[in-house]
Amino acid sequence: MNLQSLIEQYIAFRKGLGEYQGSNARTLRAFGRAIGPGAKIADVRPEQVDVFLAGTGPRTLTWHIKLSVLRPFYRYAVSRGFVNSVPLPTMIPKRPPAFVPYIFSHEEIRRLLRMVDADQRRQICLEPVTMRTVLLLLYGAGLRVSEAVNLDRADVDLVGGVLTIRRTKFGKSRLVPLGPQLRPVLVEYAARMGGHVIVDTPFFTTRTGRRIKKDTLQHNFRFLCGQAGVRRVDGARFQPRLHDLRHSFAVHRLTSWYRQGADVQVLLPQLSAYLGHVHIRHTQVYLTMTPELLHEAGQRFERYAGKEVGHA
């Protein structure tokens, strides 16, 4: 069986189950290209797999991610009789420490917004109001950066206060209700930008009316962080990223629920659905424990333990 043909067959199989992500498909197709267009799956050698897993740089978490994609693919191949043995490594190195996202404080977010308002540089291609609105949307609705830049005017219901998110990471669409503070921000932005609502008109645009690119947002965000003095001091490889606003949204939401005395275990699946996750375990990645969140969770446990002692 041709390797690349089997890869496409497997991708179609997993998509049919409604559970396959685009990143996994890209990894498998990259594996097929690395082995060669005419290669048969039965001829793939362990050393070829090792080269693909290693890549060109130092061993990182990517090595383990690639292996996690190849394992079920080869289980599929074995179960259908395309191969008898699996050329995957049996000695697995220790996983590197997981990357810890940066959780912005409320004061840091306010500083970033103030810096946007004060930013009058003419060489950038974004209006300050556009950058400000994007930041508020990423933090206020917990969107992925790609979801924000892919929004069309027709996807933003300013009257009902609902976003239609398409082309998501997991290949599913979802509706995202806007909070009472965020909806007026988008209404004001749309009014300032003007124009008629056309199906494929981008909601967020550059000064020239083109759809904003992720790299453009990232570049401007790094500049803002530098101007606002928002930097990591924990020695992490990456400085605060736009995507960390999504992490901050989730952590701040959880902290707020703890403070309100809400049943977090009941509400957690709702947060997962709001973020567009297929499984609740994906949401756990965003719930990074901060000292503030630990304090609120600890207080909740103390109140619970106190009641239990009282009933003993």
Which sequence positions are flagged as catalytic?
144, 169, 243, 246, 277, 286
Q: Can you tell me the distance from the alpha carbon of 189 to that of 107, in angstroms, rounded to the nearest whole number?
A: 23
Whole-angstrom distance, CA of residue 6 vs CA of residue 39: 11
Q: What's the rounded Cα separation, in Å, for the pair 241 and 108?
A: 13
Return the SS3 of 103: coil
What is the C-alpha separation between 55 and 239, in angstroms, rounded? 24
- Residue 199 DSSP one-character state: T
Contact 150, 109 (CB under 8 A): no
Coarse DSSP helix, strand, coil percentages of the chain, rounded to the nearest 5 percent = 55, 5, 40
Identify whether the C-beta of residue 132 lies closer than 8 Å to the C-beta of residue 113. yes
Residue matched to tokens 């049919």: 16
Phi, psi (degrees; rounded to nearest 5) at 177: -70, 145
With CA atoms as reference, report the closest residue to 255 among 198, 309, 294, 197. 294
* C-alpha–C-alpha distance, residues 252 and 258, integer Å: 10
